[in-house]
Amino acid sequence: MAGLQIDRTPGLAEAEFNHRSSEATSLEKKGGMAVTYADDDDVDSAHEGLEFPTEEELTTLRRVSDAIPWTAYMIAVVELAERFSTNFIQWPLPRGSRTGAGGPSGQSGALGGGQQMSTGLTTFYQFWSYVCPIGGAYIADTYWGRYKTICWSVALAMLGHIIMILSAIPGIIGGKTSVGLFVLSLIVTGTGAGGFKSNISPLVAEQYRRTKLFIGTTKSGERVIVDPTLTTSRIYMYFYLFINIGALIGQIGMVYAEKYVGFWLAYTLPTIVFFISPIFLWLGHGRYRTSPPTGSVLATALRVWRRAARGRWSWNPVTCFSQLTADDFWESAKPSKVVGEKPKWMEFDDNWVDELRRGFKACSVFAWFPVYWLCYNQLNNNLTSQAATMNTHGLPNDVLSNLDPLALIIFIPICDLIIYPAFARWGWKFTALKKIAWGFATGTAAMIWAAVVQHYIYETNPCGENASTCVDADQLPTVSPLNVWIQTGSYVLIAFSEIFASITGLEYAFTKAPINMRSLVMSMFLFTSALSAALGEAFVSLSIDPLLVWNYTVVAILAGVTGILFWLSVRKLDKEEDKLNNMSLGHFGYAGEGVML
């Protein structure tokens, strides 16, 4: 993970971008106090003595990423995957078991709700835990700041983990009390998870201070451009890597505990792992770079949009859409365009409006993601259930889902150290939007693979198209003779799609948002997963035999078509990537006591 070794020798600063005007720098609040972002001076000091690229060098020199700050790695440890087992919901309590353990040849279970209940509850949890980030983002950006919001969210998620353990202890497991406690644990855990998901992601990338392109020299003497956007991308790749290391270790232990001991231990293990979060939060206190809250920025953003939309409405939907998406849409909302006295709420400069425009463009990109998440969400329920209908050779069926984090742990460094640098040497800009388009393509391929596997399960199972409920005379599950490892292709393809789409989505949300709206824009990206979960409820009726082939096929078609439409809609925006990434820093304030940073 060592970063590129850069020669920091000062050179001629010839950059013509990101220089703030004297008007912006001296932006005054009513009451005579200057309002700037908290890290203005910090950002400026990070660029002292650096050589900036000329216009010619911008087109000729290779771009590389910078080294990753150690504090970013500390924060990455905080975001540990929390997960519950779908077997707990789907399968009944094994005969004679008081813990839900199935043993070497049995199927672990507890509630006996079947695949539809399993899919429904996991989909609900997915929806809830990705709606809550909006509230967490608002609290962080407006009142508490990211660090405090994360601390309280971790505490709430910990409480949810403890309730989940209680739902699985002997004497409670399998009854109505168990169902109630389990659902309550999903709600509490999802609320806590939502609060820190939208704030940890921006916090980790904020540890890197530089925002401007600058010249560096590699060990071989090659002059290169060090691109902060590539560095942010790299930070999120290793952030995602750390998440999946925690997920892999925790989940493998969890599924074996479920199979041989019981669900109480399976839920205790991730809870123990989760205790790492407050430890690293405490260790990093005073070391992390944080952005304090800036007041009611969301209300101001909506006012700006409403002002920009004046006179652009039409009963003709085509005309209305064209006018609301016009290139000059935001111009009328800039303070410099106001004739006479400015509204009291207009406590920002023109550059902040440009940042806001960029943030809205990012949200329009995210609008395509709900269909992508339909592919990814198959990991959490249907593919796990599919594994249970094949010959697992004694492995718990949940183990196969760990191929996804394992593939990510292997392929993230390969992409970072080999594939992406190779593209750069060949002169091909693998931009964020191109990566997302490839994410749709690989997600589609994963669903095609799953559909083919499901077809052959039906062909080879003794019960034909009733594979998931097939039992023998002793009421033990009867499965297809197919080896469960033929699922590998689906998991590896989904892992690649995550590298291209999911990781890039985090990067895009951070780099395109106004500084004081990073949590909020990040929550909009995460909210697409909630929309996908709601959309996924429409597919629950396909999550049963004999319709599972159609389930995967329909998702594949939707993802493929959406990926094509996505690229057609963002080709023009893709050409603006450098311009959007190197915009001047805006300034924002609000009328109140003191200076809100």
Q: What is the reported pTM?
A: 0.82
Among 187, 133, 102, residue whose Cα is nearest residue 396:
102
Measure the CA–CA gap between 597 and 594, rounded to whole angstroms. Answer: 10
Structure tokens at 372: 């992508």
3-state helix, strand, coil split of the chain in percent (to 5) is 65, 5, 35
| 3-state SS record for 253-315 | HHHHHHHHCCHHHHHHHHHHHHCHHHHHHHHCCCCCCCCCCCCCHHHHHHHHHHHHCCCCCCC
Which structural domains are found in the chain, ordered by start? 57-294 (1.20.1250.20), 347-584 (1.20.1250.20)
Q: Determine the pLDDT at residue 365.
A: 95
Among 563, 411, 571, residue whose Cα is nearest residue 493:
411
Kindly give, in sequence order, each residue whose CB lies less than 8 Å from that of residue 541, ignoring residues fewer than 6 positions away: 116, 547
Kindly give, in sequence order, each residue whose CB lies less than 8 Å from that of residue 70, ignoring residues fewer than 6 positions away: none
Q: Determine the pLDDT at residue 452.
A: 95
SS3 429: coil
Q: Determine the pLDDT at residue 3.
A: 37
Measure the CA–CA gap between 187 and 495, rounded to whole angstroms. Answer: 27
C-beta separation of 362 from 508 below 8 A = yes
C-beta separation of 290 from 209 below 8 A = no
Q: What is the mean pLDDT of each run of 10 residues along the chain (597 residues)?
A: 35 30 33 39 66 86 88 76 51 66 70 73 84 92 90 91 89 82 91 89 89 87 90 92 83 80 84 81 82 80 92 91 90 89 88 92 94 89 83 76 90 94 86 96 96 92 80 77 90 96 95 89 93 84 85 95 96 88 74 32
The pair phi, psi for residue 529, each rounded to 5°, is -70, -35
pLDDT in tens, 215-262: 988 888 889 989 998 999 999 999 999 888 887 887 777 778 887 888
SS3 471: strand
| 3-state SS record for 145-212 | CHHHHHHHHHHHHHHHHHHHHHCCCCCCCCCHHHHHHHHHHHHHHHHHHHHHHHHHHHHHHCCCCCCC
Measure the CA–CA gap between 294 and 271, rounded to whole angstroms. Answer: 34
SS3 216: strand
Measure the CA–CA gap between 522 and 537, rounded to whole angstroms. Answer: 24
Structure tokens at 395: 């492995």
Give me the amino acid identity at 108. S
Strands 480-483 and 390-391: parallel
Among 66, 51, 52, 72, residue whose Cα is nearest residue 227:
66
C-beta separation of 116 from 540 below 8 A = yes
Structure tokens at 517: 């709206």
C-beta separation of 213 from 44 below 8 A = no
Angle at CA of residue 82, ends 77 and 87, nearest 5°:
150
C-beta separation of 198 from 527 below 8 A = no
C-beta separation of 498 from 376 below 8 A = yes
Q: Determine the pLDDT at residue 503.
A: 96
C-beta separation of 233 from 223 below 8 A = no
Q: Determine the pLDDT at residue 168.
A: 85
Longest dimension (CA), the chain: 86
Helix count and strand count (H, E) for the chain: 24, 5
Residue with tokens 């074996």: 256
Q: Determine the pLDDT at residue 592.
A: 35
Structure tokens at 64: 């590389």
Among 235, 233, 583, 209, residue whose Cα is nearest residue 431:
233
C-beta separation of 589 from 596 below 8 A = yes
H-assigned helices in 312-381: 317-324, 350-366, 369-377
Query: Can you spell out the DSSP letters for 431-449?
Result: -HHHHHHHHHHHHHHHHHH
Measure the CA–CA gap between 376 and 346, rounded to whole angstroms. Answer: 42
Q: Which residues pair with 225 in a beta bridge?
A: 63, 215
The H or E element that residue 114 is part of is helix 114-139
C-beta separation of 98 from 263 below 8 A = no
C-beta separation of 280 from 71 below 8 A = no
Residue with tokens 């970063």: 3
Convert 316-327 to b/e letters by CB count within 10 Å (16 or more is b). Answer: eeeeeeebeeee
Q: Determine the pLDDT at residue 42.
A: 54
The pair phi, psi for residue 12, each rounded to 5°, is -75, 125
SS3 231: helix
Measure the CA–CA gap between 151 and 132, rounded to whole angstroms. Answer: 15
